[in-house]
Amino acid sequence: MSQDVLSKIFDYAKDVHSAQAQTMEIDFEDNIAFETRLEKTLRELQNRMEQHRSALAALRASSLDRAIEVPSANPQTRLRQLQVIKSAYERLTPSEPSLPTPTSVLPALLATRLTEQTIKVSRAAISSTQLDLTRTQERLEEEQSFLRDANLISSALEARIARLQTQHAEQSHKSSNQTARDLVRAKQQRKKELGHRITSLREAFSNFIEAPLAAMIAAEELGGPVVGGVLAIDDEMLEAGFNNQGKPKTMSKTTIGGHDAKRQRRIDEIWGASVNDGDQPLNEREAAATQMQELVAELVESVGSGEYVKLDRDSASARFLVRARVAQFHPKDARRLRLLDFGREFDD
């Protein structure tokens, strides 16, 4: 047994002793007894190592032949080598094995090391098993999701096949005139439903323009923040106007005689006198809403022909539609605008 092995055993004993001291309280007397037994065991191992060294040195000194390292090529010499090895095994086999004394702590140290190694291997196996279990559960959930989707698709296809079979059975008993009348009736019903839906969408879009969008468009026209920059804009802010930094002015600076007339001239200059054709003059928000609705109506009417709508000026309404990717300017003329053809890819 080499000195390196003894050093490792001693280091391991110190590590085990430190771990035991951290996890449990040991009596001082028990601690002294353990240290005494440990020192005694180390002395025994050192003495045994010295005995083996002395025996090895004596054996080397008494041996006239060179130690057997490799088999000889000479058959007679090789036979003698085998006889020497056989004789050594026969002498060592009956001898008692070198075992530690009953009071030695070496068996406990070896058992503790084996237990610690087993615990480490078990913990690593548990971690690996938990990781595999997590992955398996995720895979199971994914497969279950695929199965649910497949079942839904299968149910929908079965229902569709059943409806088609029913329709085919019904149509097979109808005349061509009755079938044509049913198709016309279905087309009319579909057209009626689309008309109601278009009307509902137009009302919702009109409400969207009049409620939140018109005030933001009017603010941008008056030099305020761009549409979407400030969401809470009321009529008082639009009436007061905005300064050069885009901030709302205070009403105290605008409460001067003739303010209503100046305000109306500002509305006419920006949105034109055509928005005030009614009996009551429109404020900034109402004028912006009217212009936006008229512009959208012109753009919708020009969709079929694919032509651009000629703009009277660069308005905040047009810029908003372009930023929202609803419309686009002409590549060479920013005074011409048209809606994006969203259905072209489907038509092609």
Q: What is the pLDDT of residues 276-289, one digit of tens each?
A: 555 567 788 888 88
Q: Determine, yes or no, domain membership for 309.
A: yes
Contact present, 315 and 222 (Cβ < 8 Å): no
The reply to whether 297 falls in a domain is yes
Residue 333 forms beta bridges with which residues? 330
pLDDT value of residue 348 = 40
Q: Quick one: pLDDT band at residue 347, thresholds 50, 70, 90?
A: very low
Q: What pLDDT score was predicted for residue 150?
A: 95
Task: Tell me, yes or no, whether 43 lies in a domain.
Answer: no
CB atoms within 10 A of CB 336: 16
pLDDT at 62: 66
Tokens 């001898």 sit at which residue?
95
Of residues 145 and 239, more confidence is placed in: 145
Which residue has tokens 């004789």?
87
Average pLDDT over every residue of 79-91: 81
Q: How sure is the predictor about 186, in pLDDT bands with cuts at 50, 70 and 90?
A: confident
- Residue carrying structure tokens 């609705």: 293
Render the burial of 153-162: b for 16+ CB within 10 Å, e for the rest. eeeeeeeeee
- What token pair was written down for 213? 């969008």
pLDDT at 31 over 90: no
- Residue 147 token pair: 């199965």
For residue 329, what are the β-bridge partners? 337
- What pLDDT score does 277 carry? 57
Query: What gap in Å lies between CA 118 and CA 101, rounded to an integer?
Result: 26
- Any domain includes 249: yes
- 7 located within any domain: no
Lookup: tokens for 270: 């920006």
Q: How many other C-beta atoms can be found within 10 angstroms of the C-beta atom of residue 237?
A: 20
Q: For 285-295, b where at least 16 C-beta lie within 10 A, e where not — what string?
A: bbbbbbbbbeb
Residues 201-224: tens digit of each pLDDT: 888 888 888 888 888 888 888 888
Q: What average pLDDT does the segment 265-282 reach?
A: 68
Backbone angles phi, psi at 248, to 5 degrees: -65, 140
pLDDT-wise least confident of 68-72, 107-111, 120-124, 324-328: 68-72
- Considering the chain, what is the average pLDDT of its residues? 79
Domain count, the chain: 1
d(CA 170, CA 214): 54
What pLDDT shows up at residue 5? Answer: 56
Residue ranges of alpha helices (H) inside the chain are: 3-23, 28-62, 75-92, 106-172, 176-208, 214-221, 235-240, 259-271, 284-301, 316-323, 344-347
Q: What is the pLDDT of residue 255?
A: 53
Residue with the two structure tokens 């398996």: 136
Q: pLDDT band for position 152 (50/70/90)?
A: very high
Boundaries of domain holding 258:
200-347
Least confident of 67-71, 276-280, 339-343: 276-280
Q: Which tops the pLDDT comparison, 69 or 164? A: 164
> Angle between the 28-62 and 3-23 helix axes, to the nearest 10 degrees?
170
Average of per-residue pLDDT across 145-166? 94
Give the pLDDT confidence score for residue 12 in this predicted structure. 64
To the nearest whole percent, how much of the chain has pLDDT over 90? Answer: 11
101 in a structural domain = no
pTM for the structure as a whole:
0.45
- Does some domain include residue 278? yes
- Specify if 12 maps to a domain: no
Computed over its alpha carbons, how large is the radius of gyration of the chain? 49
3 state DSSP class of 334? strand
